[in-house]
Structure 1
Amino acid sequence: MHFSIPETENIQDKDGSYYQGYHVHINGNHHCTLRYKQLRHLHDQLKKLFSHDTIPEFPSKKLLPLTTLQLEERRLYLEKYLQSLALDHRISNSTFFHAFLRMAQNETHLSSDDQKNVHIRITLPGEEVISIPVTPIQETDSVIKRVAQHIGLPEDLADYFALFVQDANEFNQYCLVRRLLNYESPFLAVKLSGESASLVIRKSYWDTTYDDELLKDPVGTKLVYNQFQDDYKRYWIQPNEQQLIPLKRLMEQNKQHDVLKLARQMRFYGSVNFLPCLTDFPTPRTSVSIYALNKELVFRYPDLSERSFRVTRMRTWRITTIVQEHSVDHPKLELSFEYLLSKDRLQWITVESTQVIFLSLCLQSMVEELMRKQQEAGSCSTFPKLADEVIQKLTFLGKNGTLLCISESTGKTRISKDPIKNPLGLKESIRVRFRNGRNHSFEEARIENHAFEDIRDEDL
């Protein structure tokens, strides 16, 4: 999760008084508007669940009204606090934190007209569109299970899929914008993304060997096969000349398993393709197309040459937002990653794109998948189960001071009271703000990659 609080607003309460509202953005989108006391209440709840010395410090309350400078300082500290929470996987992956974010989103964006059941349209692989009845507050995982039930996919296979927001670009081509996580309401996500946005369901993993589980089921096979066809039509998958003839023959014979077996050998199978953008590698302002696939990013240049960057050789990465005076509403976004080119030689490589947040999230999910495999292969301790009396005391504080219970119906949340090594950790300063003439640049937290591996020159 990439948290930011780009702005605040002086909001009038129902009793006529005013309070400062903090517009919280997650992954580049306005998620909710919160008061200071709501974030303070979140902090108090987290202290009940986690060890006090592992929770980041919360900005202290002031007795006197804040000056303009103090308001800006508080905004920066609150942003730093949320970014610290996001980088602690015990917190950011907890059911409680997701529930808090969902309730904050609902409070901010839902109107009285949105309280009844609604239907949302979801595009399946193969471009089939289905309509699913949901509640406006229903979380992403629950909607995916509704989709699975609707199409006859076994519930245990639903976890292999994810919901994405897709939108049309300037050439009227649909591209993936972002993946929805469980702290979001799909109904609100698509509603807030614009008229041309829609929801699409796709595979959620990078390692294509996970296809084997889906291919045991006829509905799973159909979804995997249709996604291959969709990506092939988009030129996201690029078979070589030797693969084209047998591919055409197998597709004409509708031998889906054989097609998918051949597809795994094709370039960019299982990848996500990003819109053309700019990079400084090997030279500044070089045009490039980027493919994200299992364990690597591939840069494809206009002359069709390629350069692969393995995620295990990225020591850290960061996102920088550059706001220029003449285009305040259209900031420039950059993703930079520190890459081990050879032994003892690290180099920062920068990508300038409107999709850098989605690109960063893809890198994070690759690392998480790698770390999860390592944990499954080794012996990892289980987290103690939350006691029922603790669950029942968790609450969400509304803007008007009303306390709402955050229920955990499954009781499956696991919380560790001891500090653990997170797959993604905070490297150094949370946010660096600097000025350069008329431009303002904002650097988010560097995300440290614990899947990073030292390599030798002969390994390159």
Structure 2
Amino acid sequence: MHFSIPDTQELYSETTGTTYTSYNIYINGTFHACLRYKQLHALNEQLRRQLLPIGHVMPEFPPKKFLPLTNSQVESRRQSLEHYLQLLGQDARVSKLPIFQQFFLNAQLETALADGIFEEYFGYGTEDGDSSSNRVEEYMRCTCLEVILPNGYQLKVDSYVSDNATALLRKALTCVQLPADMMPYLCLFLVRRESKDSLVLLRKLMDFESPFVSRLYNQPCQIQIRKSYWNPAYDLVLMKNPIACNLLFMQTISEIEREWIIASPEVLKKLKSLQEYGMHKEYIDMARQLPLYGCLQFQASVVDYPEPETTALIAIGNKELSMRTMQQDKILETKFRVTRMRVWRVTALHNTQQTDSKEKTSNLQLSFEYLMSKQNLRWITISSPQAMLMSVCLQEMVNELLNYKDNNKEPAAPTPTGSSSQQTTCSSSSSTSSFTYPTPTSSSSCSSSFTPHANPNSYVQSYNDPILGGDEESASPCDNNSTEAPIKFLAQRILSKQNPRISKQHSYGAVFFRNSMLSREDSVQNEAFEGIGDDDL
């Protein structure tokens, strides 16, 4: 998780008639939530109660102040909170905790409510009631989300507004009758169709966000099911199941048609023949031998290699970052192996001139230090709106490589984190092509149910906790006997938005650390970086 806090807002509380400072939280380069200092302080206290008994050292949290903050103190606190969240986000032991992900899921929901997102979509808002019980009822309200398969086939999935990515994925896969043990190999992406044959990957949906809210913030876009892994050995696992094999087959066809996978005319002819005869496994086996199979393709970017201001097409996969450039009417491809990237960083230059937080734009750059030859390291920079997604892909690839080594080169399926199971119903339709499930029935609608493992009303607890006593600057103690931090989110509509603490003419770079090992530097080490000798170069 990459955190940044580019600016603050001075908000007006209709309840108390006073103003307070709130911080705009960006996660993975996208606006996520607007939080007060005391809410982040309560999160810190909750994490400390859970992690300190097991010996985990928490990063230092910015101290409370008893007097009102000056402009310079607000700016100093913003920088300290940003650094604190960056350290937490890059510590897997913290960022994967359910309480951590649930906190930011709740924060996104409350910010969306305060921004009037729900009122625009459903026709209700905070003026209909500010009580915790009313808000919980709205978040537990059922809605129908469209989830598309790789071939454009649409599933209409009944879900809750508060469902995270794993919960929605589970319900969507239940609709296609895919066994639960196949779920770790798939994930949800936000995608945008810019033309009939052009598909842009916006980002991978995570468990700290609501797909419903994230989709509304990024309109126009769709939610698509895609495979979640980088090691092609996992293909063999999916191909053992007919439904999973069909999903993999559809994604492979889609990527070949969009020329994300490069194939010669002769190979395309053979693949077409296999497709017509319904030979899915044979089709996938042939496609797996082609260049760029298993890679994610990105929009045209500007790079400084081999020369500054060079336009390139970026692809990531197969343990490398591929860069295709045009030179003297020839297409040249340069491959950068992920194991030779010593460090990398993402820099975001936020445009603070926009007053609407969710519409603020960022100029993103991905820079990595690459081992060109022994004792010869060079920084290479990619400027792209998708730089954050590139960084996330590199991180996932490295994690998968390390996991592969830790398991003695035996693939181990990733373990997703998610909420408890609940009853699922869905219907499906297609505007582009038909899809027949390899099951006894093939109707255009489906429904299924499975036993819940937790009371759905357990979600209510986080909204019924008492608020921290006093001002956001007061030093009221917390109840040390409680296992849950008393966190309360925004409960009223935001009536006024402005940015008095930071000059609107000012933009700055926020460096996102991939882990906390080298927090003293502007970049971090790649744990999969290999010591390479002259014979290997």
TM-score by length of 2: 0.73
Amino acid at match of 1:10: E
Give the equivalent residue in structure 2 for 1:22. 23
Contact map agreement 1:367 1:423 (CA 8 A) in 2: no
- Determine which of 181, 184, 207 is the counterpart of 1:182: 207
1:338 to 2:399 alignment? no
Measured after TM superposition, the shift of residue 47 of structure 1 is 1.0
Give the equivalent residue in structure 1 for 2:181. 156
Measured after TM superposition, the shift of residue 378 of structure 1 is 8.6
Query: Structure 1 residues 78, 118: closer, same or farther in 2, change over 3 A?
Result: same
Measured after TM superposition, the shift of residue 247 of structure 1 is 2.0
Per-residue CA deviations over 1:103-149 (Å, capped at 9, x if unaligned) read: 11112113455532100101112110111001000111111110111
- Determine which of 49, 59, 62 is the counterpart of 1:59: 62
Measured after TM superposition, the shift of residue 27 of structure 1 is 1.0
Moved more, 84-93 or 370-379: 370-379
Contact map agreement 2:165 2:210 (CA 8 A) in 1: yes
Matched position secondary structure for 1:201: strand
Instruction: Show structure 2 runs of 5+ residues with no match.
Output: 119-123, 126-137, 413-479, 492-512
Answer with 1 or 2: which has the greater Rg: 2
Give the equivalent residue in structure 2 for 1:2. 2
**1:159-238 maps to which residues of 2 (within 5 A)?**
159-169=184-194, 173-194=198-219, 196-238=220-262
1:125 to 2:215 alignment? no
Amino acid at match of 2:365: E
CA distance in structure 1 between the partners assigned to 2:254 and 2:172 by the alignment: 19
Per-residue CA deviations over 1:372-407 (Å, capped at 9, x if unaligned) read: 222223999xxxxxxxxx998123501369xxxxxx
- Determine which of 339, 345, 348 is the counterpart of 1:318: 345
**1:369-408 maps to which residues of 2 (within 5 A)?**
369-377=400-408, 393-395=483-485, 397-399=487-489
Contact map agreement 1:343 1:454 (CA 8 A) in 2: no
CA distance in structure 2 between the partners assigned to 1:449 and 1:132 by the alignment: 39
Query: Structure 1 residues 45, 222: closer, same or farther in 2, change over 3 A?
Result: same
Moved more, 53-62 or 345-354: 53-62
Measured after TM superposition, the shift of residue 179 of structure 1 is 0.1
1:454 to 2:531 alignment? yes
The structure that is strand-richer by fraction is 1
Give the equivalent residue in structure 2 for 1:413. none
Give the equivalent residue in structure 2 for 1:357. 388
Measured after TM superposition, the shift of residue 150 of structure 1 is 0.5
Measured after TM superposition, the shift of residue 214 of structure 1 is 1.1
Query: Structure 1 residues 270, 19: closer, same or farther in 2, change over 3 A?
Result: same
**1:272-351 maps to which residues of 2 (within 5 A)?**
272-302=296-326, 303-322=330-349, 330-351=361-382
Amino acid at match of 1:20: T
Query: Structure 1 residues 53, 164: closer, same or farther in 2, change over 3 A?
Result: closer
**1:99-114 maps to which residues of 2 (within 5 A)?**
99-110=102-113, 111=118, 114=138
CA distance in structure 2 between the partners assigned to 1:326 and 1:61 by the alignment: 29
CA distance in structure 2 between the partners assigned to 1:31 and 1:326 by the alignment: 18
Query: Structure 1 residues 168, 247: closer, same or farther in 2, change over 3 A?
Result: closer
CA distance in structure 1 between the partners assigned to 2:241 and 2:301 by the alignment: 39
Amino acid at match of 2:7: E
Measured after TM superposition, the shift of residue 356 of structure 1 is 0.5
CA distance in structure 1 between the partners assigned to 2:393 and 2:78 by the alignment: 28
Query: Structure 1 residues 326, 154: closer, same or farther in 2, change over 3 A?
Result: closer
CA distance in structure 1 between the partners assigned to 2:108 and 2:353 by the alignment: 31
Contact map agreement 1:11 1:20 (CA 8 A) in 2: yes
Give the equivalent residue in structure 2 for 1:94. 97
CA distance in structure 1 between the partners assigned to 2:274 and 2:243 by the alignment: 19
Amino acid at match of 1:299: M
Query: Structure 1 residues 74, 372: closer, same or farther in 2, change over 3 A?
Result: same
Measured after TM superposition, the shift of residue 354 of structure 1 is 1.1
Query: Structure 1 residues 25, 170: closer, same or farther in 2, change over 3 A?
Result: farther
Moved more, 223-232 or 95-104: 95-104
- Determine which of 249, 254, 259 is the counterpart of 2:273: 249
Amino acid at match of 2:331: L
CA distance in structure 2 between the partners assigned to 1:200 and 1:119 by the alignment: 15
Amino acid at match of 1:160: Y
Matched position secondary structure for 1:183: coil
Give the equivalent residue in structure 1 for 2:434. none
Contact map agreement 1:333 1:352 (CA 8 A) in 2: yes
Matched position secondary structure for 2:254: helix
Amino acid at match of 1:231: E
Measured after TM superposition, the shift of residue 331 of structure 1 is 4.3
Moved more, 244-253 or 164-173: 164-173
TM-score by length of 1: 0.85
Measured after TM superposition, the shift of residue 345 of structure 1 is 1.1
CA distance in structure 1 between the partners assigned to 2:481 and 2:337 by the alignment: 41
Give the equivalent residue in structure 2 for 1:43. 44
Instruction: Show structure 1 runs of 5+ residues with no match.
Output: 381-389, 402-421, 431-444
CA distance in structure 1 between the partners assigned to 2:217 and 2:334 by the alignment: 36
Contact map agreement 1:136 1:185 (CA 8 A) in 2: yes
CA distance in structure 2 between the partners assigned to 1:172 and 1:22 by the alignment: 39
Identity of counterpart residues, as a percentage? 35
* Count of paired positions: 416
Give the equivalent residue in structure 2 for 1:407. none
Measured after TM superposition, the shift of residue 208 of structure 1 is 1.3
Q: RMSD of the TM alignment (CA)? A: 2.6
Matched position secondary structure for 1:58: coil
Query: Structure 1 residues 93, 278: closer, same or farther in 2, change over 3 A?
Result: same
Query: Structure 1 residues 193, 117: closer, same or farther in 2, change over 3 A?
Result: same
CA distance in structure 2 between the partners assigned to 1:182 and 1:119 by the alignment: 19
1:12 to 2:43 alignment? no
Measured after TM superposition, the shift of residue 221 of structure 1 is 0.9
1:78 to 2:89 alignment? no
Per-residue CA deviations over 1:56-83 (Å, capped at 9, x if unaligned) read: 0001111111100110110011001000
CA distance in structure 2 between the partners assigned to 1:63 and 1:397 by the alignment: 20
Measured after TM superposition, the shift of residue 169 of structure 1 is 4.4
Amino acid at match of 2:273: R
Contact map agreement 1:23 1:34 (CA 8 A) in 2: yes
Matched position secondary structure for 2:393: helix
1:140 to 2:141 alignment? no
Amino acid at match of 1:278: V
Query: Structure 1 residues 18, 90: closer, same or farther in 2, change over 3 A?
Result: same
CA distance in structure 2 between the partners assigned to 1:63 and 1:446 by the alignment: 35
CA distance in structure 2 between the partners assigned to 1:141 and 1:262 by the alignment: 31
